[in-house]
Amino acid sequence: MKKAVPQAAEPEKKAGRKKSLGFRFWEQRYLFLLLLPALVWVLLICYAPMTGLYMAFINYTPKGSGYFADMANSAFVGLDWFQYFFSTDFLKIMRNTLATSLLTLLFSFPLPIILAICLNEVRSNRMKKFVQTASYLPYFISWVIAANIFITFLSADGVINNLLIAVGLTDEQILFFQHGPYFWWIIAFANAWKVLGYNAIIYLAAISGISQDMYEAADVDGATRLQKIWYITLPALKPTIIILLILAIGGILNTGFEQQLLMANDSILDYSDVLDTYAYRYGLKNGMYSYGTAVGLFKSVVSFILVMGANSLSKKFDDDNSALF
C-alpha cells in the first residue's frame, strides 16, 4: 500500500497577490493628500530654481523680454565660463576658501564634543544650565551684530589690543583686519564661537541616551572619570560624530557668506575673497550672471562629491555602519 505523500499547503492567492500601484495610491489617498502641500513646496522652492543652473552654460544677458525668453535667446557657450574661472582666480579663491574652512573645522568640530563631555561631568545642575545657555546664546545673534562685536574687540584701540599691550605681549597696536592671514583665523574662531553651543546640544542629546547601567558597572570596577569617558562616552558618541563629520566635510566649501562680507575689506581682498563672495561680486554686482552661476555650480558639485566620498569611506572603515545613507 502506497503511502500518501504529504502536499505542501498552497499559499493563499489573496495574500500573495501584489496590489497594483494605482490601488495602493487610492488606498492611501488621504495620506498623499496630506503630503501634497509639502510636495508642492519642495518642487517650487527647491527644484524649480534649479532650472537657473542652465545659465552656467550660456552667455545670459537680460533683455527685458522675460527670464525664460532671455535664457532661450542667449548664446550657448558650454564650459567656457568654467574654463575662464580655472584660468584666472581659481587658485587664489580655493586657497582662501580651503584655509578658512579647514581652520573652521579645526575649531568648530572638536570643541562641541569637548564641551558636551565636560557638561555631562558637571554635577551642579545650575552651573550646567548656565554654561549651556551662555554657549548657546551666540547661535541666535545675527551675523550683523556678531561681526560688529569682533570688529570692535579687534580694532586698533579695542579690548584685545589693550589687553595684549597690558600684559606685555606686544608694544604696538596690531591691525588685525589689515593682515590677510589673521583674517582666516578670525573667521574660523567666529564660526566656532557661533555654533559651539548648538552643536554641543546635539552631542549632549546623544550622551543622554547612554545607559546609566554602563557607568554604574564602571564605578563598581573602579574606573576613573577619564576611563569612563574614553571607554563608554566616546564610543557611544561615535555614530553622531561620524554623521556630523560627513556633513561638515560636505560643507567644507561653505565658509559663510555673511561673515565674510561683513568683516572683510578691500585691503585684504586677496585673503578674504572666497567662493561665495566671489560669485556674489561677479554674478550680482558686476552683472556676470552666467559666470557667478558657474562658480556656484562648481561649488555645489564639489560639495556633493565630498559628501559621497566621506560617506563611502565611513561605510568602508566603520564596522558599526554609522554612515549618513
Q: Is residue 43 part of a domain?
A: no
**Predicted confidence band at 186 (pLDDT cuts at 50, 70, 90)?**
very high
In a domain, 300, yes or no: yes
Nearest CA to 300 among 143, 82, 44, 99? 82
Q: Does residue 1 carry a pLDDT above 50?
A: no
Write the pLDDT tens digit of every residue in 97-142.
999 999 999 999 999 999 999 998 888 888 988 998 999 999 999 9
Q: Residue 31 domain-assigned?
A: no
Domain that holds residue 197: 81-317
Strand partners, 75: 59
276/257 Cα distance (integer angstroms): 6
* Per-residue confidence (pLDDT) for residue 18, from 0 to 100: 60
Q: pTM for this one?
A: 0.81
Q: What percent of the chain has pLDDT over 70?
A: 91
Distances (CA, A) of 54 to 59, 144, 279, 316: 10, 33, 16, 36
Mean pLDDT taken over the chain: 87
CATH of residue 85's domain is 1.10.3720.10
User: What is the structure's pLDDT at 14?
Assistant: 47
Any domain includes 86: yes
Residue 58 lies in a domain: no
Whether 14 is in a domain gets the answer no
Q: Is the pLDDT of residue 298 over 50?
A: yes
| Residue 25 placed within a domain | no
Lowest mean pLDDT among 5-9, 255-259, 265-269: 5-9
Number of domains in the chain: 1
Q: What is the pLDDT of residue 183?
A: 94
pLDDT value of residue 317: 66
Q: Is 210 helix (H, G, I), strand (E, B) or coil?
A: coil
CA 322 to chain centre: 18
Q: Tell me, yes or no, whether 244 lies in a domain.
A: yes
